[in-house]
Structure 1
Amino acid sequence: MVLMKKIYICVFLVSFLVGETTQEPGICFYGEEAWTQAKDYFTQPSTCHEGRPIDCNDIPDKCRSGVYKVFPNQTQGFDVYCEMNLDEGHWTVFQRRENSYVDFYRGWNDYKSGFGNPKHEFWLGNSLEHHNGHGFSTKDSDNDNYNGHCAIVYLGAWWFNKCVTADLNGQYFLTTPDAQHRGVYWRAWKGANYSLKGSVMMMRRVSKGYTQH
C-alpha cells in the first residue's frame, strides 16, 4: 500500500509601503503536480516582454496580468499595468485606487505626466481626453460647466460637468466622508455619500479607437 502525501503550495504577495505591509490575494496549488503547476504559473512565455507593443492589446494572449513596457507613438516606452484576465484581457489600466497611500489631489501637470506605482495606486498620465464631452479639471485647471470650481470644492480631479456625478480621484475615506461628494464616489451606484474602497479604470484598443471599462 502506497500512501500519497498531499502537497499544497500557496503564494502570497506582500508589498511594503510607507512602513506598512499590504498583502495581495494569493494562489494555491495542490496534488502531485503542485510543483509543476506552480512553475508553469510563474514562468511566462519568453515572448511576453519582447518587441515594442503599442499598448496591452499587443501583449500575447498567454501572458499574465502585470507591468509591461509599451511604446505608443514611437516613444521610448514607459511602464503600464496590463489586465490580461478580465473580459478577454488586454486592458491597459490607467487608474487604480486601493488605499490612501497616494495623494490624488494634484495639479494638471501631475495628471498629465502620471504618478504612483502601476502595481498599486496610480494614474497613468496622458489620459485627460474629453470623457463624455466634459473637460478634465484639477485644482489648478478649471474646465467644468459649474459656476464654481468643482475640483477645489470637492477636493478631487475629474471630467466634471456640474460636479456631482462621479469622482474616482477624490479623497480616500475608510469611513463615511465628512461631506457629500468628497470621497471616491460614483453617485449612480452607491450614492454621493459613500466612498468606494477601490476602483480600476481601464481602456482597450478597438478598430477605430479605444473602449473604456
Structure 2
Amino acid sequence: MMVYWSLALLLPLLVQSLPITEEGLPIDCEDVFRNGSIHNGIYTIYPVGQEVPMEVYCDMGCTDNESHQGHWTVIMRRMDGTVNFDRPYSHYEEGFGDKNGEFWLGLQNMHLLTWRTKYMLRVDMEDFEEGKVYALYGTFYLESKSDGYRLRLVDFKNGGAGDSLRLHNGQRFSTFDRDQDGWYWGHCYKDHRYGGFWYLGGNGGCSALNANTNGRYQWEHYGSNDGSGLLWKGWTPNSLKAISMKVKKLSLDELTS
C-alpha cells in the first residue's frame, strides 16, 4: 500500500516534467539528433506541439568531432557584431537576428522551451587571444511573460569562466523601454546603454558589469570598465570576441544524481 501511494504522489510530478507534444515531433535539438540529423544547422522543433513550430540552430558537436558532447539548442549567439542588439522589449520577446550568425531566440521561445522539463544551460565564450572557456548550469529556465521572464539558474559547474550570472539569478528582463531591474534611483539600461538583459538593480545600483551577453560589440581587445562590450567578468574584465548560450535536456542519470 505504501508503494502504491508513493507512486501516486510521484506520477503527477513525472507527468509535469515531460513535454506535452505530438508523438514523433522533436521538441529540441537532442530529439532532432536522435531522429537522424547529425549536422549543425537550422531545424524546426515543436516544444509545445505542432501548432507552434520553432526554428532553432542546433549545435550537434560535429564541427569538433565531438558529437556526443553536442545536441545543444542554441538560444543566443554573438560572434562578429553584424546584428544590432540595441532593441526594444518586443524584439527581445519575439526574437531577432540570423540563426546562421548572430541571433536572439526570443524570451517567449526560451520560456516555452524550458518550462515543461529540466534543461541545463551552457555558456561558451572566446576572447580575442583565442582563449575559450565555458560556464554550465545544471538547471535553467525562464518564468512566464507575466513575471517578466525572470531568470532561474541552479547548480553551477565551472568550465573556467566563473559564475557571472549568480547575482542576475532571479531577476526580470529589462530593456530601454521596459524597466524591470528593481533599481529605485535609476534604470540600468538607460543610464549605461548596455542592451537588454536580466539586470540586478537595488539600493547599490546596477550589477550589469558582472555579465551581459547583449552589450555593444567591440571588434578588438577592449577594457570594459564603462560596461561596453560582451561581458563575463568571472573570466575577464575585457570585452569578449564571441559568446553563445545553449540548452539541453538533463538525462535520467543527471535528474536522479
Cα pair 2:30 2:72 within 8 Å, conserved: yes
Q: CA RMSD in A?
A: 2.3
Identity of aligned residues (%): 36
Number of residue pairs matched by the alignment: 157
**1:114 equivalent in alignment to 2:95:** yes
What is the aligned partner in structure 2 of residue 44 from structure 1? none
Superposition TM-score, scaled by structure 2 size: 0.56
Cα 1:178–1:82 change in 2 (3 A) is closer
After superposition, the C-alpha distances for 1:124-160 in whole angstroms (9 at most, x for unaligned) are 0123622221111111111113231112223211111
Q: CA contact under 8 A between 1:90 and 1:204: conserved in structure 2?
A: yes
- Superposition map of 1:11-160 within 5 A: 52-61=25-34, 63-74=38-49, 75-85=51-61, 88-125=69-106, 126=108, 127=110, 129=142, 130-131=150-151, 132-146=169-183, 147-155=185-193, 156-160=195-199
On the 8 A contact 2:75/2:105 being kept in 1, the answer is: yes
Structure having the higher Rg: 1
Q: Secondary structure of 1:188's match?
A: coil
Structure having the higher helix fraction is 2
Change (3 A) 1:143 1:207: farther
CA distance, structure 2, for counterparts of residue 64 and residue 119 of structure 1: 13
Partner of 2:248: 204
- The Cα shift of 1:99 comes to 1.2
Change (3 A) 1:160 1:178: closer
Q: Do structure 1's residue 186 and structure 2's residue 167 form an aligned pair?
A: no
Q: What runs of 5+ residues in structure 1 fail to find an aligned partner?
A: 1-50
Cα distance in 1 for partners of 2:73, 2:191 equals 31
The structure 1 segments of at least 4 consecutive aligned residues displaced by more than 4 Å after TM superposition are none
The amino acid across from 2:101 in the alignment is: H
Structure 2, unaligned stretches of length 5 or more?
1-23, 112-141, 143-149, 152-168, 201-205
TM-score by length of 1: 0.67
Higher RCO (CA-CA < 8 Å; seq separation 6+): 2
Could you say if the C-alpha distance between residues 179 and 88 of structure 1 is closer, same or farther in structure 2, counting changes exceeding 3 Å?
closer
